[in-house]
Structure 1
Amino acid sequence: MFFSIIIPTYNRLPILQKCLQALESQHLTDDKVEGYEIIVVDDGSIDETLTWLSNFKTNLPHVKTLIQSHQGAAAARNLGVNHAQGDTIIFIDSDLVVTEKFLQAHADALVTGKAKLGSDRVFTYGWVINTANFENPTTEPYKITDFSAAYFATGNVAIAKKWLVEAGLFDTRFQLYGWEDLELGVRLKKLGLKLIKCPEAVGYHWHPPFNLNQIPQLIDKEIERGRMGIVFYQKHPTWDVRMMIQMTFLHRLLWGILSLGGNLNEKTMKPLLQWLINLGKPQLALEIARIFLNWYNVQGVYAAYQEMKQIEQVKS
């Protein structure tokens, strides 16, 4: 098989450098992988991403660069797929640093999965381990919080290009944060594709240590995720989707109670969060902050849902 690794990126040059260097250092132990290309889709970056890619292209022999205006990850991934030479696509994010066995592990799991199931309707999903260690991201151990029950997520997944094309690629209406990959997963599941877990294909997802300055952006992301959740629900109005996007009475009740109706928020919890950060526990502070972040998400879902209903009433 020939892999096309598609990486959308937007203003992430420092970690993108580590991401690409790791992909250029793959150790292939047999002939399952005929070759690979790395397609970086720049989504309108305004940092030095394009300059660096141009200046260091001799050190990045597998890398091809595509450019688009800032349209979001869904459009960027579609552009990458449309230019891909490989029969098998791997999606990762530009803040993921993989091990040298990454490609071989996906190849082994795909071959084994096809043989076991007697079908090529399979795709593989590797481990994604979250880390705030920029210097040595691959030293982070796997944690219970790294577990994902997602059926199809683009953080670390390998799938035959033909199934993406048959499913219709990503829906570019998902221009804000969230859900474009899980929505495509619903369509892939309808095609009968089976998920093969591949823990040997490890990627380390880097993010800076949590601090209070990140909170406004995190709140905006949760509101965006809520809005995109309604786009998801419009396409697939099922109970499963309502559960995923937190558009149920149970979610409203849960996060309403935990946040005391929104009274536990970024302002009232600031002293506690800063105290935890000062103690060297930024990850714990972030997990506690998710109380009000999830409340913002639920509020965003229902606000977008009301907007949708109003638009439908006007049209009718």
Structure 2
Amino acid sequence: MFFSVVIPTYNRRPILAKCLRALEQQTLAPAGPVTGYEVVLVDDGSTDGTVAWLQANAADFPHLRLFECDHGGAAIARNVGVQQAKGDTIVFIDSDLVILDSFLQHHAERLQTYRQTHGNDRAFTYGRVVNTCNFDRPTAEPFKLTDYSQAFFATGNVAIAKHWLMAAGLFDPQFTQYGWEDLELGVRLKNLGLSLLKCPEAVGYHWHPPFSVEDLPELIDKEIQRARMGLVFYQKHPTFDVRLMIQLTWFHRLLWGLLSGGGTLNERSLAPVLRWLIRSGRPQLSEELSRIFLNWYHVRAVYAAYQEALTKPG
């Protein structure tokens, strides 16, 4: 199999450099299942000089093929990447993911084993994602309980035969804001009968900056975007499972409403506690505490979007 590693990116040049350099260090078995690989990077309208930097350093990335599109979101950028890919097998990772040198080999071996034992390729691999805020040494982070994911199809670390993506119809370009485009595609892949294969040996280290109270306005905006896109997800697949995923239930409304005191515990009232926890060396606890009111913002926004959709004519 020939791998095309598809990566959308938007204004992530510092960590993207680490991501791409790790991809150039892949070790493949001489007689193994992978005949070769390419890196298909789609710049989604970055304004931080990403494209100019890549062009100036092209010699450092011999596997890289660069494409550009107007800023339209990850769904559209990934579709461009898949359509331009030369490989028969697509690997999706994000541009803030740093991988080990055996990453592609592990994905390939797991896929090959399944195909040999089942006589078909109706499955995809899902590797392990470890969250870290260690920019200098992201791969030093241990796996934590909070890194566990129950997602069926998440594009942070997944490998799948290209023809199944084409059969499912690729990512829906309606997902122009943050969230859900990969899980929605996962529903369509599940309907095609595909299975998820866990591949914990294929580890990716997902870097993000350390939590800061100053980031909260952006995080709140992301929750509101995610709520709006969650409704798009539900409109396409109006099932109870999707309602649970996007938190469009009275249980979630009651839970986060009670925990946040109806919104009285928020980014303003909790700011002193959040800052104290960060100064005390507990930024992760501070971030988890903020999830209470972030979830309340999300639930309110998803219900607002739902009510707006109900009142629209037609």
TM-score range, shorter chain: over 0.9
The residue correspondences of 1:21-40 to structure 2 (distance < 5 A) are 21-29=21-29, 30-40=31-41
SS at match of 1:90: strand
Tell me how far apart the structure 2 counterparts of residues 99 and 183 of structure 1 sit (CA, whole Å): 28
The 1-side partners of 2:119 and 2:37 are apart by: 25
1:111 matched to which residue of 2?
112
What is residue 252 of structure 2 aligned with on the other side? Answer: 251
Aligned-partner Cα distance in 1 for 2:117–2:179: 33
Moved more, 112-121 or 92-101: 112-121
Local SS of the residue matching 1:183:
helix
- Deviations along 1:31-68, one digit per CA (max 9) or x if unpaired, are 31111000110000000100111011111000010000
Give the corresponding residue for 1:73: 74
The within-5 A match list for 1:78-117 is: 78-117=79-118
What is the match of residue 184 of structure 1? 185
Name structure 2 gaps, 5 residues minimum. none
The equivalent residue for 1:58 is: 59
Aligned residues: 313
Separation in 1, partners of 2:66, 2:226: 28
Match of 1:298, SS state, is: helix
| Aligned counterparts of 2:112 and 2:33: Cα–Cα separation in 1 | 8
Q: Give the AA of the match of 2:259.
A: L
Alpha-carbon offset, residue 294 of structure 1: 0.5
Secondary structure class of the residue paired with 1:21? helix
Normalised by the size of structure 2, how large is the TM-score?
Answer: 0.99
Letter in 2 for 1:137: P
Who is 2:5 aligned against? 5
Pair 1:289-2:290 in alignment: yes
Residue 300 of structure 1 and its aligned partner are, at CA, apart by 0.9
The alignment partner of 1:64 has SS state of strand
What corresponds to 1:140 in structure 2? 141
Amino acid at match of 2:133: A
Letter in 1 for 2:182: D
C-alpha distance in structure 1 between counterparts of 2:51 and 2:156, whole Å: 22
Q: Out of 12-21 and 256-265, give the one that drifted further.
A: 256-265
Q: Which one-letter code corresponds to 2:145 in the other structure?
A: I
CA deviation map 1:181-200 (0-9, x unaligned): 00000000000000000000
List per-residue Cα deviations over 1:161-200 (Å, max 9, x = no partner). 0000000000000000000000000000000000000000
Unaligned runs of 5+ in 1: none
Instruction: Report Cα offsets for 1:275-305 as digits up to 9, x if no partner.
Output: 0000111111001100000001101100110
* Equivalent residue number for residue 202 of structure 2: 201
Q: Deviations over 1:112-166 (max 9, x none)?
A: 1223333210100000000000000000000000000000000000000000000
Q: What residue identity is the alignment partner of 2:178? A: Y
Query: Secondary structure of 1:299's partner?
Result: helix
Query: Secondary structure of the residue that 1:32 maps to in structure 2?
Result: coil
Residues 142-181 of structure 1 correspond to what in structure 2 (within 5 A)?
A: 142-181=143-182
Segments of 4+ moved more than 6 angstroms: none
Secondary structure, aligned partner of 1:202: strand
- Within 2, Cα distance between the matches of 1:161 and 1:184? 13
Question: What's the TM-score once normalised by structure 1's chain length?
Answer: 0.98
Q: How does 1:40-51 map to 2 (within 5 A)?
A: 40-51=41-52
The whole-number CA distance in structure 1 between the counterparts of 2:185 and 2:167 is 11
Please state whether the residue corresponding to 1:28 is helix, strand or coil: coil
> Identity over aligned residues, as a percent?
63
**Counterpart in the other structure of 1:17:** 17
Tell me the alpha carbon deviations over residues 211-236 of structure 1, each in whole angstroms, 9 at most, x when there is no partner.
01110000000000000000000000
Letter in 1 for 2:284: Q
Q: Distance in 1 between matches of 2:32 and 2:116?
A: 17
The secondary structure found in structure 1 opposite 2:155 is coil
SS of equivalent residue, structure 1 residue 225: helix
